[in-house]
Each structure stands twice: as structure tokens, then as C-alpha cells.
Amino acid sequence: MTRGPGQLTILLSVAIVVAAALAVLFGESAFDAAQLGQAFTDASSGPAEVLWAVRAPRAATALMVGAALGLSGAVMQGLLRNPLADPGVLGVSAVAAFGAAVAIVLGWAALPGAVETAALLGAGMAGGLLVLFSARVRSPEALILFGVAVSSFAGAATALIFNLSPSPIALAEVMSWLLGSVQNRSWVDVAWVAPAVLASAVLAAFAAPGLRMLSLGEETARTSGLPMARLRLLALLAAALGTGAAVAVAGVIGFVGLAAPHLVRTAVRGDPARLLLPSALAGGLMLVVADLLARMTPTDQELKLGVFTALVGAPLFALIAWRAAREWRL
Amino acid sequence: MNAFLAMWDAEARLGGRPVLDGADLLVEPGELVALVGPNGAGKSSLIRAFAGLLPLTGGVARLSGDDVSIVSPRARAERAAYLPQERRIAWNLPAVEVAALGAPFLAPDEALQRARRALDEVEAGHLVDRGVAEMSGGERARVLLARALATEAQALLVDEPIAGLDPEAQLMVLERLRARARAGQAVLVSLHDLPLAARFADRVAVMHQGRVVADASPLQALTPDVMEQVFGLNARWVEGPDGPLLSAGRRHSAPD
């Protein structure tokens, strides 16, 4: 018997608490026991500053971004009935990043929320395109190819911005988006991203019965009596909001949306509805751990989180594709 | 006029090509009607039109007196369950949860109970907890049929339910559908196997080029003339121990 979803949720939650504690306690500046004690007793001390104003919001941002990506991945996989669907693979992150890049280059970064809104709009647009395409073409392989096209086009459009932009400062800022990071994120970032993730989760929860029904295919779902048009829209909004929020606060971080649902799917016996919460938790856990590992890796320049997840995630994508291909009898 | 499923002069197109071209059909509660015809005759299109999946460009399709296109999704599902030919299930869900998708408006426990009953009904009780990816095609077909039966809709719209099944499973599926008809449901099922259609159906509707060209009791519908014009077969029916048997050859068979 596999572990039930309830046990899995508890297990993941405990792991998140442990990982978050490690992420707060360990970092580039190593503290001894006395300094750590000081961090808990004297709020104005240096160690307290590092733990609570630098590491804690960073870990919280990683948790929120990972949860948003894990949830978005699970929603997209359910919506498109495809274990390879992922905001990054299908181009949602790339279009969101393009939106953010346009906003930065146009100098809107000074307007609060402008870059974030541009990222969200980009994510929504890409999500809409994918749903339109998947409504007309059933083949899962074709959808991945379409996502690759969307992703490449958004990448090319972003490259065009690099090509034409006169300002090197804006370019550096765009570049850091594309690499993906939660470095130097503050509680303000957490306060911005948390409600978006929560809203995405609520939308996803409403859409869950529709995702489950879609397991049987588009036509059966349409005759099931559920209001599928509305549920699809909710699911799409949930995925776009989750991905958009993640990209808005941390840039492009790939493969978490692919890997998180994959890790917990067996425990929920494939059910796309019960997959949602564990995927969000697994995504959050993965990103907190990945960020800790990226920080602790001894390199001159800190390893960017997006680079790290892509290095680990791309081989995993290949593995899942290998397994899925056997199922589709390619 | 108490036909539960009613279609008059239905016209529909797919990709610019007419797939229904003046089709008429009535199915009463308690009746099993087999829809037969060569590939591309419009059988699936007619079934999909009743399910609300194929909009008509002319004529009407009604469920219990109401135009399919104006019935709400939920009311439509309560009136007619649709079982497509496609048997792909996206995830490795256990059989009982697939069958429970037939009753999405019940409380989870009740839906699972109903799913177990439906799985027993199609002799798949032993599969309850098995994942659909670990099943044979025939087992998956039973589970999907159980899903359709678990809806307890007033009509069943079943597209090619026995394609690819072994002979025993084919008989089981048709027996179950006939039993549902006897219990009062209106059952419309498309079939390629004419002897089985003749054996199990109350009526056979023969489709040809988007139209129902014959609609009567099996042997009255599948006359030698119809067999020749619609199917291109030189055929005659002979009485077998379990029902009529078809003796048929191609009209234009290649020389040996």
C-alpha cells in the first residue's frame, strides 16, 4: 500500500520546517553557538540581522516561489493531461520573463508592481495560447513541441531586447531575471508573492474536480455534467497566476513545476486533484533545499538558483520523457 | 412522441465535410438500438450530436424533449451518459476512482459505492484497486463502461464499446447494455459486428453517408439489399442456435 495523501502532506510539511530551519541557520557566514544564541535573544545584533532580515526572507521567498511553481506544474499537467507539462518547458515562464524584460527596459521598474504585472500578463498570455492549442490538437507530443516553439519565440524576443536595448544597466537587470534567483529578497517580496500564491491555490482548489475529470479526456469531461469551461478557466488562471508570481519575484526557475508533481504522483495514485497540495509542498521544499545547496556550493560568484534547478531538472525531464514515450508507444 | 432520444433531419459538418446529412432517429426508454454502418457513415457523429459534442447545422437533436444545445451541462449528463471509443486515461488512477467519476455530484463515499456496484456489474469487481495503467485494454474498457453505467443517466450513448475486446467480453458488454435497456434506460450503441447487433438489439439503424437509411427490427433492417448497397456485401442471414448468423462475401472480391 502506498502512503496516503494525508501522511504525505504531514511528511512534506515537517521536511519544510526542517529545511527552512537549516536555511536560516546555515550560510556563507558561519556562526558559532554563542552568535546563534545572540540571534535569538538580541534582535539588533549582527547575527540576528543575517538570520532574520537576510536568510529568513530568502528562505520564505524560495518556499513561496517553489510552492507556486509546484502547484502550477501540477495544475498544468492535469489540465493538459501530460506529465511533461511544466511552466518552464511549455514557455509560460519564458513569456512571463519576456513581459518582465519589456517592463524593465521601458523603465517601468520604478513603478511599484509594474514589472510583476507584466510578468503575470505574459504568463496569462502563454497559458491562454497553450489551452487554445490543446483544445484543438490532442497529441501530447504536439503540445510539448508547441510549448518549445512558444518558449523559443519568447526567448528570441527577449534576445531582441538585449540586441536593441541601449542601457547596460537595464540589461544586467533583465539578465538576472533570466537566470532566476531569490538572493537579496526581503520580507516585502514575501508579502507580495504570498497572497498571489494563496490566490492561485484557492483557484486551483476550485478547479480540482475538473482536473480529475479531465483524466478521462476532453469529450468525456464535457459530457460529465461539470461546468468544464469554467473549471478550465479557473485552472488556467491558477497556473498563470502561480507561474507569473514566481517569475515576478524570482525570475525564471525551471523544472520545479515538472519535478514536484512527479515526485508525489505515486503517493496520490495519479489523482490530479489530490496531487495539488503535495505538489505545492514538494515544490516549496525543493526550492528551499536547492537554494541552500546553491548558497553552500563553494563558487566565487554565487550559483544562481535558476541555473542550479535547470542543471538538476533537465536530466530529470529527459528521464520522465523517456518513460512517458514508452507509454505513448512512440 | 415519448422517444427519449430524438433526432430529425440532423445535419452536421466536420472540417467542412458533411458527417450528418438528414439523419433521423428515435430511441425509446427500455430499448437498445444498434447503430451500424461502414466506416465514415456517421455513427460516431450521430452519437456525439446526442451527447452535445457535435453542434448541428440543421435539424434537431433532443434529449427527453429538450434541444440538446439548450440543456445545461448537468441536466444533459443526468439524461445521457456518453462512452467514447477512445480509451486513453491520462493517469494511473485506480479502477474504482475512474468509475466514481461517473457520479461527480455525489458525496465521495456514495460515489465510490456506486462505482463498486458498477464494476461488479461489468465483472470487474476484482480490479477495484488496480491502477488503469496496469490493466489490459479489455480491462480498461470494462472500467470505462462501469464509469458510464455509474452515471445512472436515463440514456446511454455508447460508441463502439466492443472494439478490440475478446469474444467473451464482447458478449458480456452487450448483455449488460441490454440489461440496462430492460431496466428502462434508452441505449444507443454503435457496432461493427452485425451478427451481434442482430442478436442483441431491439432495433438496428443502418447509417450510410450521414443518413439513417434503414431502421427496423434487426433482420428487417439488414436486408440483402441494404447489405449490398451500404456495406458492399453479398450477404444472407441464416438461423444459428444463439441467434441469426451472417453469411457474407465481398461483392467485388478480388480473384484468387
A5-328 domain in CATH 1.10.3470.10? yes
User: ipTM for the complex?
Assistant: 0.93
Q: Cβ of A270 and B92 within 8 Å?
A: yes
Spatial CA neighbour of B142 closest among B111, B117, B173: B173
State pLDDT tens for residues A282-329: 999 999 999 999 888 888 888 888 888 888 888 888 888 787 777 654
Asked if B107 reaches chain A (Cβ–Cβ under 8 Å), the answer is no
Mean pLDDT across A267-293: 95
Which grid coordinates belong to B140? Answer: 480498461
Asked if B48 reaches chain A (Cβ–Cβ under 8 Å), the answer is yes
Residue B126 has pLDDT above 60, yes or no: yes
CATH number of the domain where residue B11 is located: 3.40.50.300
Residues 175-214 of A with CB under 8 A from B: 209, 212-214
Residue A330 has pLDDT above 60, yes or no: no
The mean of the pLDDT values for chain B is 94
Q: How far apart are CA A145 and CA B199, in angstroms?
A: 47
Is residue A104 within 8 Å of residue A170, measured between CB atoms?
yes
Q: How far apart are CA A60 and CA A145, in angstroms?
A: 34
Mean pLDDT across B114-125: 96
A-B C-beta contacts closer than 8 Å: 80
Q: What angle do CA A226, A232, A233 make, to 5 degrees?
A: 120
Residues in chain A within 8 Å Cβ distance of B89: 215-217
Asked if A300 reaches chain B (Cβ–Cβ under 8 Å), the answer is no
Nearest neighbour of B73 by CB, restricted to A226, A265, A271: A226
Q: Cβ of A219 and B104 within 8 Å?
A: no
Mean pLDDT across B36-64: 96
Q: Cβ of A222 and B73 within 8 Å?
A: yes
Residue B46 is part of which domain span? 5-250
In the prediction, which pLDDT does A74 show? 97
Asked if A148 reaches chain B (Cβ–Cβ under 8 Å), the answer is no
Ranges A189-198, B33-42, B145-154: which has the least confidence: A189-198
Which grid coordinates belong to A3? Answer: 502512503
Q: Give A87's pLDDT tier (boundaries 50, 70, 90).
A: confident
B255 located within any domain: no
In the prediction, which pLDDT does A138 show? 64
Domain ranges of chain A: 5-328
* Closest chain B residue to A215, measured at CA: B90
Mean pLDDT across A66-89: 91
State pLDDT tens for residues A100-126: 999 988 888 888 888 888 988 999 899
Asked if B94 reaches chain A (Cβ–Cβ under 8 Å), the answer is yes
What's the gap in Å between the CA of A233 and the closest CA on chain B? 16
Spatial CA neighbour of B54 closest among B72, B37, B42: B42
Nearest neighbour of A225 by CB, restricted to B78, B83, B92: B78
Give the total number of structural domains in chain B: 1
Question: DSSP letter string over chain B?
Answer: ---SEEEEEEEEEETTEEEEEEEEEEE-TT-EEEEE-STTSSHHHHHHHHTTSS--SEEEEEETTEEGGGS-HHHHHHHEEEE-S----SS--BHHHHHHTT-TTS-HHHHHHHHHHHHHHTT-GGGTTSBGGGS-HHHHHHHHHHHHHHT--SEEEEESTTTT--HHHHHHHHHHHHHHHHTT-EEEEE-S-HHHHHHH-SEEEEEETTEEEEEESHHHHS-HHHHHHHH-EEEEEEEETTEEEEEEEETTPPP-
Reading phi first (left if > 0) and then psi (alpha if -120 to 50, else beta), residue A251 is in left
What's the gap in Å between the CA of A214 and the closest CA on chain B? 8
B103 located within any domain: yes
pTM over the 0.95 mark: no
* Closest chain B residue to A262, measured at CA: B91
